[in-house]
Amino acid sequence: MDLKKEESKEAKPEESIKQKQEQVKQEKPEATPAASKEKTKVAGKEKQKIEVTKEEPKQKPDKKDLKIQELTNIVKKVQADFENYKKQQEKEKAEFCKYASQELVKKLLPLLDSFQLALKNKDSNEFKKGVELIYSQFWQILESEGLKTIEALGKELDPFCHEALLQEESDKPENTVLQELQKGYVFKDAVLRPAKVKIAKKPEKKEAGKK
């Protein structure tokens, strides 16, 4: 009997501990799903903060690199502007040539009319007058565009304006133009075609004793 009493006394403290633990579990409120979500959010934010603090601070761009980038952008802009300028100039040039030719053709229309009129009267004296009129009109049109004749007869040979095809002994100074074989022309201060000429040369001296 005494042993049973002692065992029951030793078992009581263990039972009282288990009872207290069960009471604490019953008194402690169970965690709701919303509360668990809040905990996970808080934990995630804390983790992000830790990761941010671990990242190394970004280095500021070097002034030299910024200057190089700025100059590169300027060069690219200048190149683009220059290309646009070239295209605009080529377009304007093409338009100018187009309308310049149009104006020249317009000026030649009266000449065409005169040719038609002269051909109608080719069997009369009016034909010669018509041809002379056509030549006069044609020359006036070309002269108004900047065409001029090169003076050659009696002038000293100018290699830039004259082309010597023949030579002839003469009492005149050497290289003097004696005859104009084909007219030369200058167009707006540029030689369009040199004049083809015959020039003078010194007479050959006859040797003594020869007939």
Reported as a single tens digit per residue, the pLDDT across 115-173 is 777 777 777 777 778 888 888 888 888 888 888 889 999 999 999 999 999 999 988 89
Q: What is the dihedral angle through the alpha carbons of 78, 80, 81, 85, rounded to the nearest 10 degrees?
A: 130
Last residue of a domain, one of 130, 145, 160: 145
Check residue 5 and give its pLDDT. Answer: 47
Check residue 198 and give its pLDDT. Answer: 94
Reported as a single tens digit per residue, the pLDDT across 92-101 is 888 777 667 6
d(CA 146, CA 129): 26
Query: Which residues neighbour 201 within 8 Å (Cβ) at sequence distance 6 or greater?
Result: 167, 168, 169, 170, 174, 175
Query: Which residues neighbour 133 within 8 Å (Cβ) at sequence distance 6 or greater?
Result: 114, 118
Residues 112 and 175 placed together within one structural domain of the fold: no
Q: Are the C-beta atoms of residues 200 and 175 closer than 8 Å to each other?
A: yes
Q: Are the C-beta atoms of residues 187 and 147 closer than 8 Å to each other?
A: yes
Report yes or no on 121 lying in a domain. yes
Q: What percent of the chain has pLDDT over 90?
A: 16
State the chain's mean pLDDT as an integer: 75
Q: How many domains does the chain have?
A: 2
Residues 99 and 110 placed together within one structural domain of the fold: yes
Residues 135 and 167 placed together within one structural domain of the fold: no
* Candidate from 84-88, 101-105, 111-115, 190-194 with smallest mean pLDDT: 101-105
Residues 157 and 189 placed together within one structural domain of the fold: yes
Check residue 13 and give its pLDDT. Answer: 53
DSSP string computed for 13-80: HHHHHHHHHHHHHHHSPPPPHHHHHHHHHHHHHHHHHHHHHHSPPPPPPPHHHHHHHHHHHHHHHHHH
Last residue of a domain, one of 145, 169, 190: 145
Edge-to-edge strands, sheet with 195-201: 162-169, 195-201, 177-182
- Domain range for 194: 148-204
Residues 81 and 123 placed together within one structural domain of the fold: yes
Phi, psi of 154 (to 5 degrees): 80, -5
Check residue 41 and give its pLDDT. Answer: 57
Report yes or no on 88 lying in a domain. yes
Q: Are the C-beta atoms of residues 160 and 128 closer than 8 Å to each other?
A: no
Check residue 207 and give its pLDDT. Answer: 59
Rounded mean pLDDT, 31-50: 54
Position with higher pLDDT, 161 vs 7: 161
Check residue 4 and give its pLDDT. Answer: 47
Position with higher pLDDT, 130 vs 82: 82
Query: What is the SS3 assignment for 5?
Result: helix
